[in-house]
Amino acid sequence: MTGSVVIMGVAGCGKSSLGAALARAVGAVLVEGDDFHAPASRDKMNRGIALTDADRDGWLTTLGAELQRHPAGAVLTCSALKRAYRERLRAASPGLRFVFLDIDRASALQRVSSRAASHFFSASLVDSQFATLEPPVGEDGVLRLDALEPLEALRERALAWLGGAEAAPPPSPRNAEGQ
């Protein structure tokens, strides 16, 4: 893989899982966007208060700086819900590509609800994520994937699209004896 890639989408789409799998597969640095939210922003999200553009401003600046710190390439997980946010990241890292994990509201809500005990993001914010989302359809350098596909399939499709690593062949079918 040459350059950096952002794994993007609404909460619950699987950004962290795919980002980690992709970073491992290509030997790239993983930058987990959630780790860079300001404490005040984390507190707001935990209380079910949606972030504003102003809340995200410093976060996006920090994420852009993180991309610049890894000129050989990195995998960044970031919701990147609005085109303006994606443009800021592109300005920080020319040639930046995005993998958009597209998911329906009900599935996102179920996933976010299931991790409530271990994650700061409140399930009550899922609707605000969809209201804010400006899908990157038609933007250059974007691969849209169905977030409900198995993780291995998502990783392989992303690897093939990025072109920097060979996608593993599908497993061979087993015969009736399981050999």
Measured torsion, CA atoms of residues 123, 127, 132, 137, in degrees rounded to the nearest 10? 100
Residue 122, Cα to own-chain centre: how many angstroms? 18
Distance separating alpha carbons of residues 43 and 150, to the nearest angstrom: 32
pTM recorded for the entire structure: 0.84
Q: Tell me: the pLDDT tens digits for 6-53? A: 999 998 899 999 999 999 999 999 999 989 988 888 888 777 788 889
Please state the domain extents for the chain.
Answer: 5-162
Domain 5-162 top-level CATH class: alpha beta
Q: Tell me: the pLDDT tens digits for 140-169? A: 999 999 999 999 999 999 999 998 444 333
